[in-house]
Every structure is written in C-alpha cells, then in structure tokens.
Amino acid sequence: MRTPEGGEVTQLLRAWGNGDGRALEKLTPLVYEALRRTARAHMARQPPGHTLQATALVNEVYLHLVNIRETDWQNRTHFFAVCAKLMRRILIDSARRRQYLKRGGGVPHVELEEALIVSGEPPAGLLALDDALHALAALDPRKVQVVELRYFGGLSVKESAEILKVSEETVLRDWRLAKMWLLKELSGEQQHGA
Amino acid sequence: MSNNMERERWQRLEQVCQAALDRSAGERLAFLEKACAGDQALYQEVEALLAHEKQAEKYLEGPLLGLIPEVVESDGREPTSASREDAALIGQAVSHYRILEKLGSGGMGVVYKTQDTKLGRDVALKILPGAVAHDAERMARFEREARTLASLNHPNIAAIYGLEDSNGTRALVMELVEGPTLAELLESRNSKLGTGKAAPITAPSFNSRSSSFDPLPIAKQIAEALEYAHEHGIIHRDLKPANVKIAREGTVKVLDFGLAKVLDPHGWQAAPNPTHPPALDASATETGMILGTAAYMSPEQAKGQLVDRRCDIWAYGCVLFEMISGRKAFAGETISDVLAAVIKSEPDWSALPKTTSLPIERLIRRCLRKDVRQRLQAIGDARIAIEEMIAGGAGAGPVLALAESFPVRRERPSPRRALAWALVGLLVGALIGSVAIWKFAVPPPQPSMHFSAVTNFAGVQAQPALSPDGRSVAFVSDRDGPYEIYVGLISGGNLVKLTDDPKFKARPCWSPDGSQIAYARLNHSGIWDIWEVPALGGTPRRLILNALDPAWSPDGQTLAYANSVTGALWTSDLTGQNAKQVAAPDAGSRFAEPRFSPNGRELAFVKRWPGPYGFLEVTELASGKVRQLTTDEALALSPAWSPDGKFIYFAWSRGGTVNVWKIAAIGSEPVQITAGQGDDAQLDVSAEGKRIVFSTFRANTRISQLDLERKPGLQVLKPLTADPARSQLAPAYSPHGKHLAYFSNVKGIELEGIWLANANGSDPVSLVQDRRISNVFPHWTSDGKWLIYLAYLQSGGEYRRIPVSGGVPQILVENRNTQAFLFDAGPGGRLLYEGSNHEAVAFDPQSRQTQNLGALPAGEKCSVLRFSPDGHLVAYTVNAGEQDDPKAGLWVTDFKNPSRQVFHGWVVWYARGPNREIYLLEGKPDLNGVLWKVGWDGKDLTRLSWTVPLVHSYYVQPGQNDTNFFDVSPDGRHLAVTVESVLQANIGMIENIP
C-alpha cells in the first residue's frame, strides 16, 4: 500500500528535520491529501456505526506515506506534529461546513467528502474550541501546540515532549493549565451567549 | 493592554496557578492570599481557572473524533452493501492482522478470519459494533470484561487473545476455530434427512457412534466449558447452537462467552423491564439474530430479570433438547411468540425420540424448569450425568437412577468465601468513582515466560500483593495524592481504595483467607505501626504498635514483622499477644520483609545494612538457626517463596539494577529472571507459583535549592543537579558558598563518588570515583581546600580527604563502627563521629589524635553528630524508641552538664546555619517535612513556612536519618536539600515463571 509520494514524504520529512523550513510547506498538502484520502477509504469499508479515531487515521497515513525503513523516530514525531496541525484544520473546516449547512436549513445532501470527518464534538463546540485556541495562542503559543499534539494529534505526553523539546513534566503542566484555561474560556462564552 | 503586558500578566497568572496546583487543597487558600496579595483581579482570575481543575482532568482526554458514516447514510443514500464492505476489507490490515475472509456477522460484530502477521498464526477478529467502540464508557467496561474473558483458558472455550484498538476499528482478537457451528450441523442434518426443520429426527442417527454428529460428546464438552467458566465467575448468557463450533476431531469450542453482557447496549445489568428485555434491544434490525437468541433465552432473561449461571443451564437444556429431538425447545413465528413460549409453555416433550434414555430426558427436564430454584443448580451435575451415560453406552445403556446421576460435588468453595468474593465483585462494580483502566494483559498462547503490565499509571503503584486466590492484587499508590492501599482485580477493572488518610503506608499483605489486608502505616513519631483493613473495605484498625513489614503465617494465626525501631524480627498473634523475638540483627543492620515459608516453619527475610546493601537470609523458627543465602555486596529485597517451599524469589541489585532472581531455599547459585531498565522489586508469587507480580521502580534523588529569602508561598524547589539517571545527595556548601560538594550514585548501587559543582549546580566535576567502594558524605575543611568524606567499607568506615583541586585521597582515620557512619567536620577540620562504644569521638587531622568526648546516652538511637560553630558543643538526634517518645528530638551537650533537648519530635536531618542557629527538618507521616530554626541553646524555636517532601524511595525507609540531607549556605540565603527527582513505579506481572 505504498503510495507514489511515499518516497517524497520521507525525503521532505528528513529535509524538515534537518532544518529546511520549505520542506514543511511542501509536506503539508501531501499529508493533508493523504489524510482525506485515507479517511475516505475507511468510509467505504466501514460498516455503519464504525468510526475512526484521529490517531488511527494518522498512524495509517504514516504507514502508507513514509518509508519506515528509511526513516527514524524523529521523522515520525515530526510527521505527527504536522498531522496534529492538519487534523485541527480539517476538523474545523468540516465543522464550519456542517455549521453552515445547518444554518442553511437542514442537511439535505451532504457530500460524502464533506461529511467525512466529523468530530464527536458538536460542530459548535469544536468551533468554539478553535476560537479559544486562537485566543490562547496570543498568550501562550506553546500551550496551543500541546493541545494540538495531544488532542488533535493524539500524541502521548512523551511524544509531545520530544516534539516540543521540553520535559514531559512541562507538557503535563502545559496540558493541564491549557485545558483549565480553555474550559474557563468556553464556559464564559456560554454565559455570554445565554 | 499591549500584547506584551498581556503576556506578562499571563505568565504571572500561570506561575501562581501552577504553584497553587502543586499544593494540596488545604494549603491553597492561604497560598493564594499571599501570592496575590493586593491583586484582587489576579486572585479572581486564578480562582476562575482553578475552578475548572476537576473538569479539566477529563476534558479533551477522550477519543477526539470519528468518521461517522451514518451522517451520510441518514441522508437517504443507499447504505453500502454488505458484500461491498466485506470485499473492501478483504486483504486489508487491522494493525498487524491481515483480513482473509469474512466468517460471519451478528449483533455483536462482524467476524473475520485474519492472519496475525507477527505471530504467523490465523486468528478470528471480531470487529465491534460502532455503538460499543465509540462509547467510551461502554468500551471501558468492555475492556474490563474482555480481560476477564481473556483469562479463561479451557480447551472447549474459544480463547480471547486481546483487544485491538490501534487502527481505527476496535476488534476482539480470538482463537480461530475452523469448522461448522452446531446450528449449521443441526440444519444440515435436518435437510439431509429431508424432514424439514421442525420434524423430529430419529434417535439412532444421533446416537450412532459412527456418525460425525454424536450429541453426547458435544453435550459433555459444552458442559465442561460452562462448568469451567462458572467456576471462574463468568456466565455465557447467550449459549445457543450458533455459538458452539465443532472443530476437527469433534472438539467443541464454545464462542462468545460473556459477550452478551458487555455488548448489550443497555449495559450489563439487565433492567427489570419485562416489556423490553434488554438483550432484545441489542440489535433490533437483525431480526434473525434475535429470534435465534430468544429461543434459548431463559424465562428470567425474557422477563428482564437479573440472571445468574442458571440461565446458562436453561440454554444448555434447550441445546440438548434440540440436539436430541432435532427441534427447538421453544419456537414461534415472532419474537413475542417465542418469548411467550419460553415464559409460559412447556417444550413438546413428545418430540424427544422414544429411544431417549431416561437420565437424558430427566436432565433436559431439570435444565428447563422455569423456576430457577427448581432448575438444575450446577452444570457440573449435567456433565457428570452425561459422562456416566457415555461410559454406560449412551442411550442404549442401563437406566441410571437419578440419585446416582447427580451426586453432590465435593469440592466447592466455602459459602463464606464465595460470598466474600461476590461482595468484592459488587464493590468493584459499585465504586465507579475510582475507575481506572488497567492495561490489558493478554495471556500467552504458549507457556513461555510472559511479561505484562498490571498498572500503567503516573506516579507510584507499588508493593503488589496477590490475594490468596490470585485474582486480586493489593498495592500502595499515590494516585490520589497520599499513599493509600488499593485493591483491584489482576485482570483489570475498577480499583477499590481501602484507606483514606494522608499518612504514608506500605507493604499490604493478605490474610490467608483473603478477608483482611495488613499493612504498615507511618505515625507522627517516624515509627511504623501495623494496621489491618477488611479486603472488602471497612474501618482500618491498628494491630501491632511499632512494627512494619507484616507477613501472615499460612494458618492465618500469626503475624511476623520487623520492629520499627530495632529492626529485630518478631512474631505474635493478631492482637499483638504472645510476641516473640525471632531474630535480632547485628549492630548497624536491620531485618526487614519477613515471609513465612509455605509450611510456616521458616522465615525468609532481608538483612539490611546502611546504604544499598542487604542479604537474603532464612531462619528456622523452631531452632532460631539462620542461613545467609546471598553474599554479594549488593542489595537484596522482598523475598517470596515458591508454593512448594523449595525456592525463594527475591529482588537483587547484582549487576547494577535491581531485578527478580530466584534461589533455592537451601542455598544455590541465584538465577536471574528479569532484566531491564527500572528496578524490579517488591514481588509476590501467586499461590500456584506460576505468576509473579512486582513493581518496577524508577527512583532517584537530586539536590534542589530552597531560597530562604523568598516569600514562603512562592517557594519552589529549584533543581541544582540534573542527571535523572543517577541520584545526587548529601550536599555541602564550601565555606565561601561558591561551591557544592555532594555524592552521587546510580540508584544506590556500588559505583559511588564525590562530585563538585558551582553553588548553582553548574559544571559538576567528579572528584572521587571508585568502582569498588562507596565514597560518601563530603564535608569541607574550613579553609575550603580539602574535602573529607567517608569511604564506606563492610568492616566500618574510613575517613579520607582529598584536595579540592584533585589528587590522591589520603586516609585520615578509621571508624570501626558499622552502625554510625555519618560524621561532621567542625572548626579546624576536626572530625566528629560516633565510636564503636556509643561515644562521641573527635579526630584532629593536625595531631592525628582521636579524643573521646564522652558517652552518648545509652539505650537510645543517637545519630547525626554535629559540632556547634565554635566547636564547644555537640548536637545529636535521638530517634523515637516508641510512639510519642519524649526523648525523640535534637539534643545538645557539652559532655559536662546534662544534655539539653532543643527540639522535641521526629528529626529527619539538621544543619548548622551561619548565625549560631540550627535548621532542622521535622518528619511528618504525610511525607511533608517541616523546616524549623532553633538556637543551640534551645531558644528562638521558629517554624519556617516551607515544607520539604520527604525522600521515601523503596530502599529508604522514612523514620531513619538518611534521607533529606541538606546544608545551609554560608550566607544563610539558601538550603541545598536532597529530594526525590524521579519516583515512579508500576506493577508488572510475569506469567509462567521458571
């Protein structure tokens, strides 16, 4: 199941790992497309009621895209860092579309692709989370990264620490505080809305 | 507000918030008031954040999202056809399982034949319905149950190997059983005979030995499977011909044990709702499945009542009826018809062939009694009846009297015990408040040694003790903050917290009847007491004062333990009466961790020496004879006997890290069993001797700095040393305060040395490195040119000195006291230490003369001797000899006048401050040590606001003065203190131990 761009992705990951910033720009659309394609494939073969977790999706894309023999764990963590960001983007985009369609009066015909990736969270909750993350980014970008890696990327504390080059304890502390801050922010929004 | 201001504000907010989170709830308010003094806005912001602490624990922790195809299908599109789905999956991989073909489907998921590409075997993969796989709570419940099911190991039960959830779908990995189901066999039999489904089938074709379909051996094997499962507390709940596979050579495999319970969408506890029997709602779309299930459903199940093993007996009767008669016992056009028949009607007994033997018919009739109390009570009785019929020539054999057919089985668990375990089950189920998912331990297919993690949490999960039946494990954990005793099923599930108080606890151990757990608890005097708590939960009560490391004798009448003060081994009855000293240690050593041999005649234990040394020894209780099993200068810990009493498993540091070893109880060359990174210690062996549980530790200390000038509330211990792979301890500031000396080792193993660093911990250099002996406790000479330290030898200690600039160490003086190896270097470089005869000795390096300053109080545990700044006075600590010992504390003497007690209580460590004051750390049983300041004359006793977490790693016992070594900087601004840097432990299990 190796895709033609597999070699390219491996190369780009390596280049990025070696500090080539442009590699990330080239990498992003490839991974984005692979994530969507893999999700679609799952769609076709899952019996009703089955869902696919983000981590599983990312894992599978990784296995398809990257030549494991030619890569090392650092590439792997880099890759997951990219995926985490992309997952957030894909989810938020999808939630926006769903939200939009809802406001437009029901969901008559959701395109397969449009409905592909939906969160267990209701779209409104997801969008609010995204907004809150934007607000948090202004104060403390690393905490947002931690949330992206942990939540959207499904990465462990250890993996997140490796990517962010901080201690696991720092990740844990960031994670804990970020969640508290987000909850505070989100509960505030609800109050304003009510 | 500018961006920068906002960020600064945020940083401040975060700082206060994190610091508050590091404190216990009780301390927070005071802390916040101090930290936010005057800044009301900050206070409110922090409060608003902290308000979400509890909620945040679970927030964003669940699975992020899923692809939910229903969204598309509910839009009126054609559902993907089943064949297309299957086709799409064939050849795909789920984790390392390659899907080969579809085997079947039902409400409990689709089953595929797959190849396990890792182990190179074919397995069955049951992909769970999405409704289960994506309901976190149900999945958790399912995982718990699956672990129990995975523990079933019987030739007639299709094994569950594990749960795969790494690749999008959640699937159960099961033993692949090739062959038709009993349902298929019955169907083909019916059609071959051309009699149609409902027609009776004549007995001979079934009873014939030559036939591939012989109901009695099948019935016997089903009964054996049920019997085994029932003995393990598992009910099938959905026994039917479709769940019985007939593999090659007629081996029966019963499938889907217990799955009905966990896959039932309404949970495992059937709601008492007769109109909607829970199992019927399982998949309302799959009518066939429901009909199939309903026909074998017991009346109590059909009524939605709670069920027990007797529902399996009913279903067994239905299957037996169908095998013999060729007809379903209860049938109907619709589910309601079927259920009505189950509840009201009798089966058509005339459908049984006339040749059916009487015992078989009676057995079926007994199984199909609607009143559960009148029904056959134990499936083992059916097994016996069928075995007798097979032995007697099946239906053609003699008609057996019923009394003979159903003999009372002898080996039953005592009712009390059975009740106890039922209660444990209830408790475990009820305490949802402390839900934790244990890592899934998959039993191995072949009996090679197999490691698995029993716990996989942050923090400490340690000192596991297996219950007598091997199903549960008691352990200590700080998962909720304080160290508490927990009990959980080894196969996973909820944890039951048995204790609830902040005091440090250790070493739980089960009474032989499994009803009680004894453990040790630290009291405020720094002494341990042995407590007992019912294993099902209840009020703890104190059993033995001043004792630790409890061990129960095999008959449950005697406890062995170590005296918390003297380290001697004692036995007594459970009330502390009839106490007898079994063995007293040599001066300087302590006995620890006694364990009764299985015959109760011997005790294995560890003889601990100061530092990381300990020997494994065994004493014969009758004669008092002691034999030493290990001789290495290494640390031996936690002996555990094999059930036959021939071997002792223990933890040992030979080679560097602590691992599990095995040695013959009469002595032999030890055999290493585990190897790896962490320290494997604190083990326990299961009653059948096949499994070991142990805790794997990562524990190290480092030196941190406490800023004595900063506001107490904001005090955070700042690490000065940074190598988490080693321990750094016993810091000493140079006279000018610019440098720190300390010693370092790898987890208390041989290789030890003295290090030198800047006062902020930077640029550490190794000054003394010795691979053979421990070089510990550096002290500076007052000119700052030398370091004096102890070279620790088995025969005692040697004080040596080395130029700070490096060079060759010189021997100053020998101290043959093996008990007290700590020392002080006072004015003029004079050494102070305790001599072999309990006297204070001063050594002058210039004259090379020793001087006996005077005797230390006899009969008291004195230690940590220190000169006063002018060298005229000597301070020493006295450890409590019993709880609330008035003598415990810090004393000062000039050896002429009576000693003066300047502090009363449990002193962990103390040091000279720069201005004729003493800084001391008082121990607390909740491990939050309190700092005090006191004058040498006992005046101006001041409690400082800082607390220091007490070192308590597994080879250090709180209550001894060798833990939080600290020193005060010469300018009085800092404290360099030894604290734990890493302390993690989880419980592992080894199965099939050699």
Nearest CA distance, B7 vs chain A (angstrom): 5
- Give the per-residue pLDDT at B455: 82
Catalytic residue chosen out of the listed positions B116, B238, B885, B962: B238
- Cβ neighbours for B918, distance < 8 A, ≥ 6 positions apart: B875, B890, B902, B903, B910, B911, B912, B933, B934, B935, B936
Average confidence (pLDDT) over B589-601: 93
Nearest CA distance, A11 vs chain B (angstrom): 25
What pairs with residue B171 in β-bridges?
Answer: B127, B164
For A42, the closest of B55, B67, B70 (CB atoms) is: B67
Determine whether the interchain pair A184/B10 forms a contact, defined as Cβ–Cβ distance below 8 Å.
no
- What are the DSSP calls for A2-60, one per residue? --TTHHHHHHHHHHHHTT-HHHHHHHHHHHHHHHHHHHHHHHHHSPTT----HHHHHHH
Q: Tens-of-pLDDT digits for all 194 residues of chain A?
A: 344 455 677 777 777 767 777 777 777 777 777 776 666 665 555 444 444 555 566 666 666 666 555 555 566 667 777 777 777 777 777 667 655 554 443 333 333 333 334 434 455 667 788 888 998 998 898 999 999 888 877 777 888 888 888 999 999 999 999 999 998 888 764 443 33
Instruction: From B372, B402, B370, B357, select the one nearest B384 (Cα to Cα).
Output: B402
Strand order in the sheet with B109-116: B93-94, B97-106, B109-116, B121-127, B169-175, B160-167
The SS3 of residue B343 is: helix
Residue B985 burial (CB < 10 Å; 0-12/13-18/19+)? buried
Determine whether the interchain pair B65/A183 forms a contact, defined as Cβ–Cβ distance below 8 Å.
no
- Give the per-residue pLDDT at A2: 40
- The Cα B126–Cα B89 span in angstroms is 13
- Best of B53, B65, B102 to mutate (most A CBs within 10 Å, chain A): B65
Amino acid at B65: L
Q: Quick check: B651 and B638 in contact, CB under 8 A?
A: yes
The SS3 of residue B873 is: coil
Using an 8 Å CB-CB cutoff, list chain B residues near A107.
Answer: 71, 75
- Give the per-residue pLDDT at A41: 60
Amino acid at B170: R
The SS3 of residue B305 is: coil
Nearest CA distance, A187 vs chain B (angstrom): 10
pLDDT, one tens digit per residue, over B149-191 is: 777 788 898 888 877 765 556 788 888 888 888 988 888 777 6
Average confidence (pLDDT) over B942-965: 74
Using an 8 Å CB-CB cutoff, list chain B residues near A53.
Answer: 63-66, 168
Does the predicted interface ipTM exceed a cut of 0.85? no
- Cβ neighbours for B667, distance < 8 A, ≥ 6 positions apart: B627, B629
| pLDDT value at B228 more than 80 | yes
Interface list for A 65-124 with B (CB within 8 A):
87, 91, 107-110, 112, 115-121
Most confidently predicted of B205-214, B421-430, B612-621: B612-621
Determine whether the interchain pair A118/B68 forms a contact, defined as Cβ–Cβ distance below 8 Å.
yes
For A53, the closest of B48, B63, B82 (CB atoms) is: B63
- pLDDT bracket for residue B894 (50, 70, 90): very high
- What are the DSSP calls for B278-290, one per residue? GGGGTTTT-HHHH
Average pLDDT, chain B: 78
Nearest CA distance, B637 vs chain A (angstrom): 30
- The Cα A121–Cα A136 span in angstroms is 20
Using an 8 Å CB-CB cutoff, list chain B residues near A184.
Answer: 48-49, 51-52
Residue with tokens 């050594």: B843
Q: State the distance between the two ends of chain A, measured CA to CA, in whole angstroms.
A: 51
Determine whether the interchain pair B64/A48 forms a contact, defined as Cβ–Cβ distance below 8 Å.
no
pLDDT, one tens digit per residue, over B788-833 is: 999 877 667 889 999 998 888 888 998 877 667 789 998 888 999 9
For A49, the closest of B7, B70, B88 (CB atoms) is: B70
Using an 8 Å CB-CB cutoff, list chain A residues near B82.
Answer: 47
Determine whether the interchain pair B49/A180 forms a contact, defined as Cβ–Cβ distance below 8 Å.
yes
- The Cα B616–Cα B310 span in angstroms is 51
- Give the per-residue pLDDT at B945: 82
Percent of chain B with pLDDT over 70: 78
- What are the DSSP calls for B600-646, one per residue? SSEEEEEEEETTTEEEEEEEETTT--EEE---SSSBEEEEEE-TTSS
Using an 8 Å CB-CB cutoff, list chain A residues near B134.
Answer: 51, 120
Cα B573 to its chain centre, rounded Å, is 28
Q: Is this prediction's pTM over 0.90? A: no
- Give the per-residue pLDDT at B873: 94
Q: Quick check: B878 and B865 in contact, CB under 8 A?
A: no
Q: What are phi and psi of B639, to 5 degrees?
A: -70, 145
Nearest CA distance, B77 vs chain A (angstrom): 9
A168 touches chain B (CB under 8 A): no
Determine whether the interchain pair B133/A51 forms a contact, defined as Cβ–Cβ distance below 8 Å.
yes
Determine whether the interchain pair B14/A177 forms a contact, defined as Cβ–Cβ distance below 8 Å.
yes
- Give the per-residue pLDDT at A108: 35
- What are the DSSP calls for A135-165, one per residue? HHHHH-HHHHHHHIIIIIS---HHHHHHHHT
Interface list for A 31-50 with B (CB within 8 A):
39, 42-50
Structure tokens at B212: 């591939």
pLDDT, one tens digit per residue, over B233-249 is: 788 888 999 889 988 77
Higher pLDDT, B205 or B738: B738
| pLDDT value at B72 more than 50 | no
| pLDDT value at B13 more than 60 | yes
Q: Quick check: B993 and B689 in contact, CB under 8 A?
A: yes
Q: Quick check: B512 and B519 in contact, CB under 8 A?
A: no
Q: What are phi and psi of B532, to 5 degrees?
A: -140, 140
pLDDT, one tens digit per residue, over B483-528 is: 999 988 877 667 788 898 999 999 999 999 888 999 999 999 889 9
Amino acid at B376: L
| Dihedral class, residue B473 (left if φ above 0, else alpha if ψ from -120 to 50, else beta) | beta
- The Cα B244–Cα B250 span in angstroms is 12
What pairs with residue B874 in β-bridges?
Answer: B867, B893
- The Cα B820–Cα B784 span in angstroms is 25
A182 touches chain B (CB under 8 A): yes
Annotation marks residue B135 as catalytic:
no
- Give the per-residue pLDDT at B819: 67
Interface list for A 118-147 with B (CB within 8 A):
118-121, 138-140, 147
| pLDDT value at B438 more than 80 | no
Determine whether the interchain pair B64/A59 forms a contact, defined as Cβ–Cβ distance below 8 Å.
no
Using an 8 Å CB-CB cutoff, list chain A residues near B131.
Answer: 49
Using an 8 Å CB-CB cutoff, list chain B residues near A177.
Answer: 14, 17-18, 21, 49
A51 touches chain B (CB under 8 A): yes
Cα-based distances in Å from B377 to B309, B366, B403, B534, B718: 8, 9, 15, 31, 66
Dmax (CA) for chain B in angstroms is 115
Instruction: From B490, B471, B535, B536, select the one nearest B508 (Cα to Cα).
Output: B535
Residue B732 burial (CB < 10 Å; 0-12/13-18/19+)? buried
Q: Quick check: A96 and A127 in contact, CB under 8 A?
A: yes
Determine whether the interchain pair A179/B130 forms a contact, defined as Cβ–Cβ distance below 8 Å.
no
Using an 8 Å CB-CB cutoff, list chain B residues near A138.
Answer: 3, 6
For A117, the closest of B67, B73, B169 (CB atoms) is: B67
Determine whether the interchain pair B52/A180 forms a contact, defined as Cβ–Cβ distance below 8 Å.
yes
Instruction: From B326, B80, B317, B300, select the one nearest B185 (Cα to Cα).
Output: B326
- pLDDT bracket for residue B971 (50, 70, 90): very high
